[in-house]
Amino acid sequence: MLLIGIGNSSVAFALAYMPSSLVALFIAALPAWFIGLDWLFFSKKRPSHLTVWGLVLGFTGLFFIFDPFYLLHPDNVVRNYPLWPIAVLTAGSIAWAYGSLLSPRLDTPPQLTSSAIQMLSGVVVTALMSVVLERGEWHSVGEMTARTWLAIGYLVVFGSLVGYTAFSWLVNNAPPQVSATYAYVNPVVAVILGWVFLKETLAPHAMFGSAVVIAGVVLMTLRKK
């Protein structure tokens, strides 16, 4: 419920009101929530200086990649958008990080069974929230194209069965500083895949930001098993 039901739903909801680059930047702050909540409520271990510098470097690099305020592209017009979805994103990020930290401390079934239960319970919570918040939009399901269904199928296989199961294993078998780095690595992978498969332009600021992100991840994982 915490990870998929609240965490994922907050992102989907915020995307309807805010630019995707800004939403992605907020989600990229997840490592800070991971390490902060772990320090305050779980391990009680103060993060090392290397971890803190890794956090700062990673977030700085992602700022260059996403350029949410068009500082690197002044020609683009910044759209007006409300600020209240930021509170939704913050709540979702805290729920995701707290649930991830709670997972290894619970008596759960075997890994695949546990991941399946998490995804099923997340579906129930998300569907209920959709009924309440989007009751007038359900007709759009019937308007989905074959391309849309293929995209959903891809996300089911690689985003959920592979990606989420891998993440679920990681939070139960690695320190929070290591498992939290996925939020920094994902955008870099997306930039590279867009360049390789979609022939997207690999802008200098994205290349620089990716290098800074990787440096931050190295600092966060240094001296970790």
DSSP conformation letters of 69-103: T-SS-TTSPPPP--STHHHHHHHHHHHHHHHHHHG
Confidence of residue 74 (pLDDT cuts 50, 70, 90): low
pTM for the complete prediction?
A: 0.84
Q: What is the mean pLDDT of residues 71-82?
A: 64
- B/e letters for 141-153, b = 16+ CB within 10 Å, e = fewer, are eeeeeeeeeeeee
Query: Does the pLDDT at position 94 exceed 90?
Result: yes
- In the chain, domain spans: 2-221
**Between 1 and 71, the higher pLDDT residue:** 1
